[in-house]
Amino acid sequence: MIRKKKIILSFIIIAVVLLLSIAIAYAALSTSLTVTVNKVTQNPMTWDIAFQTGTVAGVSTSTNSLSSCGSATATTDTISGISTTLADVGDKCAYTFVIRNNGTIAGKISSIDITKPTNTTCTITGSTMVCGDITYKLHYDNESSTSLVGIGDTIAPKVDSTPTTKTVVLTIEHTGTTASTEDYDQLGFSYKITYEQN
């Protein structure tokens, strides 16, 4: 009986020694790998959509000497000073301005709000407004373009340090069927184009 206990105890001791040997062997084969990072920089996103500033000359396509277009002034968020005189059917003034994106975020037109001239009945479709014999439109690129400014239109962010631009032309045209026989002023119209993050 004592002999059996010695044999069992010997087996237990051998088993413990074997287990410890295996654990030491596994420990001897382990490897630690380390990744270090010096720094992570998150560049700031910038929002900078605006008009290109300067003088916006009105260009007339009329041969009538009574028609005139004058010029306007563009600041970063407003074009003002447009004063147009149209005398005959087909007379038109065009004002070309530039919208630029100097930010790192693309923009999308979320709304086009048009204020109608006072005391005038007008119909509005997109960026086109017709008030009696006068039609107002916002075109892309040039005055005869059929590509009109609309909700959902986008402007890409700048490329490196170069702003992305969109050329927009406001046309004001006498689209009636006959020339007016008396003075009639359309006062107080405006376009408000709102961009949001695309």
pLDDT digit string (tens) for 79-116?
999 999 998 899 999 999 999 999 999 999 999 999 99
Yes or no: say if 80 and 88 are a contact pair by the CB < 8 Å rule: no
Q: Residue 113: what pLDDT? A: 95
Residues 6+ apart with CB under 8 A from 175: 89, 130, 133, 134, 135
Please give the Cα distance from 173 to 106 (Å, whole number).
32
Residues 6+ apart with CB under 8 A from 156: 101, 106, 164
Assigned token pair, 160: 């490196």
One-letter amino acid at 18 equals L
Please give the Cα distance from 59 to 29 (Å, whole number).
83
Instruction: Using a cut of 0.75, tell me whether the model's pTM lies above it.
Output: yes
Assigned token pair, 42: 């998150």
